[in-house]
Copies of this chain bind each other. A is one copy, B any other.
Amino acid sequence: MTEASTSLKPDAFKVACSSCNLRELCLPVGLDRPELDRLDTLVSTRRSVSRGDTLFRSGDHFESLYAVRTGFFKTCVSSEDGRDQVTGFQMAGELLGLDGISTDRHSCDAVALEDSQVCVIQYSQLEILSREFTHLQHQFHKIMSREIVRDHGVMLLLGSMRAEERLAAFLLNLTQRLQARGFSSSSLILRMTREEIGSYLGLKLETVSRTFSKFQEDGLLDVKQRQIRILNQDGLHQLVNGAGATC
């Protein structure tokens, strides 16, 4: 009932890392031909997740990692008393589920923000294969380490930035990742609500909305609901970094 519309059965058709156009962003970075062929045996199924459905939930048994193939996700943790916090947004080529390794259970929820597809990576198989291929082992470690570094950046944001700085940093991070995937660096459509942005940034949705409006007044952005056009990228950068540096 709770996962009524989630496709729990893997999709029938096969996919191959070796022919995937995300392979330069995803787990296979740096692998050579024979390694790629072996990886194909590991990443053999996809799973579709409809908008609003969960890929996994906190407490679920951990078995697989998931590479986003198409679509967009959020991950969120929640405390016992019901508070919850969006910990990240994931787009194509990014990995979901690393939190589960530590206790064999997931510690956060992963929710699709639009109809999405993920590649299912059996963790036990990944362990085996990464003992065989040093490149794969190293790449996997790098991905985990990168997640740690990213988290530290978010802590910096949450611990020491003001509302405008947080939103500017968020937008710049999003556009940078979109650009790496071949999208425009100046125009984007937000897949998440103001409330989800607020949760990620440690702000209330009203503050997010007001800050968008302020950016528009200041000529930094053009905001039409979830359609954002960046008019002055340098201006955003200065908000994040140059807050007091120009003195």
> What B residues does A9 contact at CB under 8 A?
none
Is the C-beta of A160 less than 8 angstroms from some C-beta in chain B? yes
- Chain A interface residue number, banded: 35 or more
A107 and B149: CB pair below 8 A? yes
Q: In chain A, residues 101-119, which have Cβ atoms closer than 8 Å to a Cβ of chain B?
A: 101-103, 107-108
Known: A99-B145, A148-B144, A149-B107. A202 touches B158 (CB 8 A): yes
Is the C-beta of A24 less than 8 angstroms from some C-beta in chain B? no
A126-140 toward B: CB 8 Å interface, digit per residue (1/0)? 010011101001100
Which segment of A46-54, A79-87, A181-189, A223-231 sits at the interface? A79-87
Which segment of A35-43, A211-219, A239-247 sits at the interface? A239-247
- For the complex formed, measure the closest distance between the CB of A150 and the CB atoms of chain B, giving whole angstroms: 9
> Could you jot down 12 A-B contacts, CB within 8 Å?
A77-B152, A77-B155, A79-B160, A82-B245, A85-B152, A101-B145, A107-B149, A107-B152, A127-B138, A155-B158, A158-B158, A159-B199
In the A-B complex, list the 7 residue pairs whose CB atoms are closest, starting with the nearest. A101-B145, A151-B151, A158-B158, A159-B202, A102-B145, A102-B146, A85-B156
